Structure 1
Amino acid sequence: MRVRLRGDAYDLDTSLLAESDDEVRRQLDQYAAGERQAFDLTVDYPAGHLGDVMRAMAAIPYGETRRYGDIAARMGSGAVAVGQACGANPLPVVVPCHRVVGADGTGGFSAPGGVDAKRRLLAFERGEGLDRF
């Protein structure tokens, strides 16, 4: 399912969610309006490294970030492998890969808006520039 959120497009593999597309859209609309900080959706995490990284991303609170290397150290993995899993995240925004950043900067972002979309999401969650969206 493709959704537009605060000016950017995101592709979500909703087959990994138990809830209907309408419910997913409703919660994303609430998030975009600043009315929701956490999603109440049932995620069927993939097996293996991707699923482990997705669980770690899902645990990052709204408005906060974690570094690729920090997640990697906790998982006994490497920062590059964590970054690759973030880039393969089939549920961007819902599983907040935008909250994972590099040690020296923002890091990458695989959504169509790229790193600029990631920066916009992070700024939105920090309460910056809310009227610009």
Structure 2
Amino acid sequence: MDTLGGHLRAQGLKPERIHTEVFSALPALNPGITATPAVRPHQPAGPVATGPVATGPLVTFARSGITTPWSPDRASLLDLAEACDVPTRWSCRTGVCHTCVTPVVSGDITYTAQPLEPPEAGTVLICCSRPAGEVVLDL
């Protein structure tokens, strides 16, 4: 959509006449030294619903179209999102910076460690939380 908007502006269309809306996850923001290639979201590697590892409640990443069972072996919802190559935004992994704040479409979560400052109602810090039941995240 950004490319299309740029093309329309280059053709002389007034910017206030161009309206776009993105229906996917925000671009990933993952600190690191080197860039990594983008990979399409997918089910995590290993056993899925019937395996011994992933037997917990379903976690849905709505914008990415992925629904997968929770595994208690995962440290956080962020870890699960990364295992599925769902684009995520994070910085601290401890609930301090709020870079990973994500809207919750439905369901409940629990925090592995209480964040210093809780996020707004209807959102979750995925870096330090786990599902308390089935959950749908706006990722």
TM-score normalised by the chain length of structure 2: 0.28
Give the number of the structure whose alpha-carbon radius of gyration is greater.
2
Q: Which has the higher helix share?
A: 1
Q: Which has the higher strand share?
A: 2
